[in-house]
Amino acid sequence: MGAAGAAGGTINGWLCFAGFPLPVREAPGFDWLVVPGGALHGAILALLPVVAAVVVRRWSLRWRIILAPAVGWISGYLSWVPLNHLVLDESLARSLDWPWTGGIGLVVAWRPFALFGLVGLFWYLVIATGGLRRRRWQLAALVACAGTFGSLWFWTDWDQWYLAVIHGTVWGVLVGWAASRASLRA
């Protein structure tokens, strides 16, 4: 699933680099580093919720759901680090403390969710509530929805909501397919 997430992130990074379907507003000249940054970003978003779900798989459903915001926050935090460092050219130290710069309280609590943490939260909920037992196309659709709706806040803030649909679907279908293959063997 990590490789599928990395592949989805690579494709989405390349789409940003190529300016498809339109250049990303405020960043018309994405450097080529958006491609490896996207790969790391996609891999983290794919893997971290799975690892969390595996660790807590024997917990009651109520506790697995209560854990979802923490998984989402950590997913958003960690997945933004490579983009912040490679794409936005911030130092590694600044990339590691990004949620705590420029705000306190609710700002720190919300920022990782706004920067793709909702993807991790929704993907984790799919897994934690038994989503891996679904048919391959259903799982791919659920993960594509997690990628799309989870990134909608970010892309809407950039006035390019349609990129949430494109990028969320690319990443989600690849991760969903890989998850369905893994669950068939489990």
Q: Where are the domains of the chain?
A: 2-19+32-185
What lies within 8 Å, CB to CB, of 103 at 6+ separation is 111
**pLDDT for the residue 11:** 97
Residue 87: which of 163, 46, 29, 156 has the closest Cα?
A: 29
Residue 29: pLDDT over 90 = no
For the entire predicted model, the pTM comes to 0.93
Is residue 6 a contact partner of residue 47, using CB atoms and an 8 Å limit?
Answer: no
What lies within 8 Å, CB to CB, of 34 at 6+ separation is 13, 14, 16, 17, 83, 86, 87
DSSP one-letter code for 91 = -
Place 186 in a pLDDT band, splitting at 50, 70 and 90.
Answer: very low
Q: Which two tokens stand for residue 180?
A: 């369905």
From residue 68, how far is each of 91, 93, 156 by CA, in Å? 30, 27, 23
Between 134 and 148, name the one with better pLDDT.
148
**pLDDT for the residue 96:** 95
CA–CA distance, 125 with 25 (Å, rounded to integer): 31
Residue 27: pLDDT over 70 = no
Amino acid at 26: E
Which residue bears the tokens 């991760």?
Answer: 175
CA–CA distance, 132 with 174 (Å, rounded to integer): 14
- What percentage of the chain has pLDDT greater than the value 70? 95
Is residue 95 a contact partner of residue 84, using CB atoms and an 8 Å limit?
Answer: yes
pLDDT in tens, 71-126: 999 999 999 999 999 988 899 999 999 999 877 788 899 999 999 999 999 999 99
